[in-house]
Amino acid sequence: MRKIKFKNIAILLSAVLFVSCGDDFMEPDSISTFDLKYIYSNVDDARNGVNAAYSYFNQDAFRSRLSNNFCGNTDIEHQTGWNSEGDRHQIWNLKANPNNRDLDIVWSNAYRAIRDANIAIKGITDSGNLEASDAATKATFYQLLGEVYTLRAYWYSMLIYYFGDVPYVTNAPVAGDDFYLPKENRNKILTGEIQNLINIEEHMQWADQVRFGTEQVNREYTLGMIARLSLQRGGYYLTPDLRMVRDADYLDYYQLAKTYTSKLMTLKDRELPKDFRKIFMDQVKFQNTVNSEILFEVPFSTNSGDVGWNIGITVDGGATAAHSYGSGNNYMAMPPTYYLSFDSNDKRRDVTCGLYKINTSFKKEFVNSPLNISQGKWNRADLTTPPGSSSAKSTGINWPMMRYADVVLMFAEAENELNGPTPEAQNALKRVRQRAFDETTWTQDVDQYVLSVSQSKDSFFEAIVDERAWEFGGEMIRKYELIRWGIYSQKMQETVTDLKKLNDDAYNGTTQYPDYMYWKLDAAGEFIVLNPDTKVAAAPDDTWTRVPFLRDLGSAAGMYKDWVNRDWENYIDKGPKPGVARYIFPIPVIAIENSKGTLKNDGYGF
């Protein structure tokens, strides 16, 4: 495997640079100018310095929180939060308090990552190597600079999504500086970070030019991040008085999104791989490809990473199991409304939604409840080398940060917002759908479908909302999309309404969908479902096992399971303002106390 080796880099760099790793991110010790000049005097040591900023992907703040665990509930991924006061449950239930340890972990690690990025930026820009006479040295240092700017922009994007206005730290820590910075307007931060990426991207290298390919920040990813941040900047956000608004200049940022997605599609276009499942199987098999679907993925080593442990197909393991793949669970499930929203011909459905689990006998069986549909894109049982019967975390499976299909759909969205469903926007949508359907059905499932949704700007936007759900289910970016579109609460209400209708229709005998599902293992031991999306009166023979599907949403028409009623209620009408999802969380109490009165939790109904 080719992996950026960031294990222990943070420890090494902290020792060399004399930077404090205490809880008070605002007041680290001053860096040593001499040591900084030494580190950034040569390519190898500079690479290690930049890797310090990567190292925070290997902390719980990212690998089990920002990457997936923080990202529910949405209309396509969800978890129950009201049945516990645990830290993650508070977050799922939109009722986290300032003492929430998970929030503190994310806040602290985000600012440590930003601090180390700022140190690297200063070291690189002061080194003189951006003006080196040796072309290779100059190119490498520009690439390193682009990497840390992009990493810093990612962490600010996340801080803004979770905390709103936050301190904007852009300088390396120097003695005598004012470390107690107030909150800065979120859109000013995004504007600054976008401009930094615009300034650097042309100096960066493509994934096929850098040593670690897509396991390293590259020009493709930075171009994609310009677009993603621009759509965030041009999108809606929650104000302290609980209104969803967007700034008057939002179209300028849709134009930036169009410009930079178009730039990537012009300079470094590639076909979308025809095999949707293989995109994620390559991650499980540790296959790193360039000029393909993945633009950048977090490179976990074989003793790190939580993919396949708290996200993916459920695997029952342990010391007495008949297999050595260990145990994996799924913190986020797919609601039946999402599963049934797929077209029957859409190849992405059975990759994205796992209707089965793997038991201790190493056999597949039905998940037994519509509450337990898992993210099927990753399965630890597909690892080439079993990690051990008692293993759980640390699968080594990489996490996708951005795919090329995302770029294509961002282009379609931006073009539609600016000019309506033009042929260019329609063709971009078609590119993504063509991969999802067999070529024999393209006339109906691609061409006619796209034509039908292209009658207006609004209908095309709704199609983009749907397509991004079908394409990226389980990749945990839906929350951020619903926020920037300003439809978070609306989609939660639609989900609950549709779940209740599915239940009522099942009990009233009027559903076309499976009230029960019938499953079995075929002769080859493969899990198959007789009626994945249709109602049948009975199985053809007794080799099939019947399990309740829609009938497990409630006990009768009008009688719903608690999770249907309660999992989304704080996103709809039980939060501080009905019709508004209060997705902003309070700044951790430790950060408030250490700010010397500069920061406080005000607004948002806190």
Rounded average pLDDT over 468-474: 98
The confidence band for 28, taking pLDDT boundaries of 50, 70 and 90, is very low
Per-residue pLDDT of 395-448, as tens digits, reads 999 999 999 999 999 999 999 999 999 999 999 999 999 999 999 999 999 999
- Please give the Cα distance from 520 to 526 (Å, whole number): 8
Per-residue pLDDT of 505-547, as tens digits, reads 999 999 999 999 999 999 999 999 999 999 999 999 999 999 9
Residue 246 vs residues 33, 135, 231, 294: alpha-carbon distances, Å: 42, 44, 11, 30
Contact yes or no for 341/466 (Cβ under 8 A): yes
Contact yes or no for 518/530 (Cβ under 8 A): yes
H-state helical runs in 55-85: 60
Q: Let me know the angle formed at the C-alpha of 376 by 380 and 346, rounded to the nearest 5 degrees.
A: 145
pLDDT exceeds cutoff 60 at 313 = yes
- Please give the Cα distance from 488 to 492 (Å, whole number): 6
As beta bridge partners, residue 564 has: none
Per-residue pLDDT of 119-156, as tens digits, reads 999 999 999 999 999 999 999 999 999 999 999 999 99
- Tell me the pTM: 0.95
Three-class SS of residue 517?
strand
pLDDT exceeds cutoff 60 at 18 = no
The confidence band for 3, taking pLDDT boundaries of 50, 70 and 90, is low
Per-residue pLDDT of 364-404, as tens digits, reads 999 978 889 999 999 999 999 999 999 999 999 999 999 99
Q: How many helical (H) and strand (E) elements, i.e. helices and strands, does the chain have?
A: 23, 13
Contact yes or no for 480/446 (Cβ under 8 A): no
Contact yes or no for 193/153 (Cβ under 8 A): yes
Q: What is the per-residue pLDDT for 303?
A: 86
Three-class SS of residue 520?
strand
- Please give the Cα distance from 201 to 146 (Å, whole number): 7
Q: What is the per-residue pLDDT for 547?
A: 96
Structure tokens at 120: 């690297």
pLDDT exceeds cutoff 90 at 550 = yes
In this structure, are strands 356-358 and 364-366 parallel, antiparallel, or unpaired? antiparallel
Instruction: Calculate what percentage of the chain has a pLDDT beyond 70.
Output: 94
Concatenated DSSP letters of 170-211: -S---TTS------B-HHHHHHHHHHHHHHHGGGS--TTTST
Q: Which residue has 């079995």 as its token pair?
A: 520
Q: Which residue has the higher pLDDT, 173 or 224?
A: 224
Q: What is the per-residue pLDDT for 37?
A: 86
Mean pLDDT score across all residues of the chain: 93
Residue 377 carries which DSSP code?
A: T
Dihedral over Cα of 75, 78, 84, 85: its sign: negative
- Please give the Cα distance from 581 to 575 (Å, whole number): 7
pLDDT exceeds cutoff 90 at 7 = no
H-state helical runs in 268-334: 276-284
The confidence band for 12, taking pLDDT boundaries of 50, 70 and 90, is very low
Expressed in angstroms, the distance from the first to the final Cα of the chain is: 47
As beta bridge partners, residue 365 has: 357
Q: What is the per-residue pLDDT for 385?
A: 96
Q: What is the per-residue pLDDT for 183?
A: 97
- Please give the Cα distance from 195 to 484 (Å, whole number): 20
Q: What is the per-residue pLDDT for 174?
A: 85
Per-residue pLDDT of 277-309, as tens digits, reads 999 999 999 999 999 999 999 999 888 999 999
